[in-house]
Amino acid sequence: MHRQRRPEKVPPSPHFERLPDHRSPPDPRGSPPPISPLTPNSPDTKEHRHHHEAPPPTGAHRCEAPRRTSPPPPHAGRAPPCSASARRDREDIRESAPEPAHSRVILDLRPTARGSNSPRYVDREPTLISFEEFDGMFENFEHTAFRLETRRRYRSDVQTETYHRFAAGRAPGWDLEDPWCVSRREQVALGKRFERVRIMDNPPTPGQRYLLDNAERNSAVGEDIRYLWRADADRLGLPDEDTWLFDSRVIALLHFDSDDDLTGVELITDPVQVTRACQVRDSAWHFATPYRAFLTEVPSDV
């Protein structure tokens, strides 16, 4: 009588062993992406079992890995967490890196030399236009005309009757029907914008006080005028040049002599200088105050 042979117990396959927290031990060279443990139904498990496991005897129970009941690793589906040393290296780099220029509130927009920031700048003769051509630009531009007024006095203002009346303590008597005012109203009616930022000293000069009163006339014909104290303009790094900027692509640089007379108009279309002029306009316009509100900040001349 033959004794029935008891089936041998088959040890569980090492492919089903489960590491704590489903993660591999840390590697000093870095943290590779986590490898998920094999499951009995995956193709890799079946392939390994086919090559490395002996078929169990008849009647034996197949060893199966317990199903995972704990949640997946917190970094599953994302990049693996960096090591502590890598985090320290990044922190050291951030601490030692200089502050980016774009994060500063105050920008220095004044060029050190004309066109020096342009890699393709070529020293060329300035393009000068006549006063008649300059006057025509105020009707031929398409969208915007921006003026930055930086001077303390304009001789052309001093020679007018309105200035003499203002200096004598009387009302200037602005004529809103003169050709200049009519032209401005016509251009504004076409949808064009005229904007000015005037720089004022503290205390203001007589010429600056005259132009502050003149802002009422310019505003009446459609111009938008704002003011900025010279100390604030210096902190912003605004240039000292007196300019018009047409359609954000052409600069009309005004040249004056020592007597504050306008002597010439230079056209500038260099992309680097035009871009800088647009930055100047945006900075000045943002920090300037509308002239009506600025009136309350101006000290009395009495």
The candidate with the shortest Cα–Cα distance to 215, out of 152, 291, 157, is 291
Query: What pLDDT, on the 0 to 100 scale, is given for residue 174?
Result: 96
Asked whether the beta carbons of 224 and 196 are under 8 A apart, the reply is: yes
Position 247: which residue type? Answer: D
Q: What is the three-state SS of 242-259?
A: EEEEECCCEEEEEEECCC
- What's residue 125's pLDDT? 77
Please tell me the distance from the alpha carbon of residue 193 to that of residue 142, in angstroms, as a whole number: 9
Q: pTM, whole model, 2 decimals? A: 0.62
Per-residue pLDDT of the chain (302 residues; tens, 9 = 90+): 555 555 555 555 444 444 444 444 555 555 455 444 444 444 444 444 444 445 555 544 454 555 555 555 555 555 555 555 555 555 554 454 444 433 333 334 444 444 444 444 445 678 999 999 999 999 999 999 999 999 999 999 999 999 999 999 999 999 999 999 999 999 999 999 999 999 999 999 999 999 999 999 999 999 999 999 999 999 999 999 999 999 999 999 999 999 999 999 999 999 999 999 999 999 999 999 999 999 999 988 75
The DSSP secondary structure of the chain, one letter per residue, reads -PPPPPPPPPPPPGGG---GGG-PPPBTTB-PPP-PPP-TTSHHHHHHHHHH-PPPPTTPPPP-PPPP-SPPPTTTTSPPPPPHHHHHHHHHHHHHSPPPGGG-SS-----SSTTTT-TT------EEE-HHHHHHHHHH-SSEEEEEE--S--HHHHTSHHHHHHHTTS-----TTSHHHHHHHHHHHTT-EEEEEEEE-SSPPHHHHHHHHHHHHHHHTT-EEEEEEHHHHHHHT--S-EEEEETTTEEEEEEE-TTS-EEEEEEE--HHHHHHHHHHHHHHHHH-EEHHHHHTTSPP--
CA–centroid distance for 260 within its chain: 36
The reported pLDDT for the residue numbered 181 is: 97
Residue 86: phi, psi to the nearest 5? -65, -40
DSSP β-bridge partners for residue 129:
265
Q: What is the pLDDT of residue 302?
A: 53
pLDDT of 300: 82
Q: Please compute, for residue 104, the number of CA atoms within 13 A of its CA located in the half-sphere on the CB side.
A: 11
